[in-house]
Amino acid sequence: MSAIYSLTNPIFTNFAFYAAASTIKMMAMSLLTSRQRLAKNIFANPEDIALGSNKEAKVTLSDPDVERIRRNHLNDIENILPFFVIGALYVATNPTPVVALWHFRVFFFSRIFHTIAYQLALPQPSRSLGFTAGYVATISMAVQLFRALLK
């Protein structure tokens, strides 16, 4: 019998792929924030003004374009890290591989869609649907985890 948490277990490798891809997507929000700050000369700290491209650089925490990316980033943290926690534990329950794979896929693509809907300010409820699909995927794994733990 091979170990659960190893590259010989396809459930684990699928989880690793989608968990890492979701995390990289989340990390990309940092770069988007930096790009927006530099483009608009808007910074969060007085010492950061030296990074600005001209004398119009200023400190503000209320620029709507920067704050939209920040809220998107925080929403990722609120959802992608719980996906990792619940998903990593769910892998230990040895779920049906194809069922597990679809949970990981639905989660990842729902977060991609959520980001697009957030950054393009698509009409609601598009962003809400993206959020909900990912949320439900995580809750579904948690339900199966609790069932396995309480058996």
Binding site for a second copy (CB under 8 A): 3-7, 12-13, 16-17, 19-20, 23-24, 26-27, 29-30, 44-48, 50-51, 61, 67-68, 71, 73-74, 77-79, 81-82, 84-86, 88-89, 92-93, 118, 121-125, 127-128, 131, 135, 138-139, 142, 145-146, 148-149
Minimum distance, C-beta of residue 44 to a second copy, in the bound complex (Å): 6
Minimum distance, C-beta of residue 18 to a second copy, in the bound complex (Å): 10
Cβ closest to a second copy, residue 36 vs residue 93: 93
Give, in order, the Cα–Cα distances in Å from 31 to each of 70, 105, 131.
11, 24, 22
Cα distance between residue 47 and residue 100, in whole Å? 47
CA nearest 131: which of 143, 119, 113? 113
Cα distance between residue 26 and residue 70, in whole Å? 11
Unique residue bearing structure tokens 């409820």? 125
Minimum distance, C-beta of residue 142 to a second copy, in the bound complex (Å): 6
Cβ closest to a second copy, residue 9 vs residue 102: 9
Give, in order, the Cα–Cα distances in Å from 121 to each of 1, 12, 24, 108, 114.
49, 35, 22, 20, 10
CA nearest 18: which of 89, 105, 113? 105
Minimum distance, C-beta of residue 4 to a second copy, in the bound complex (Å): 6
C-beta of residue 76 within 8 angstroms of C-beta of residue 26: yes
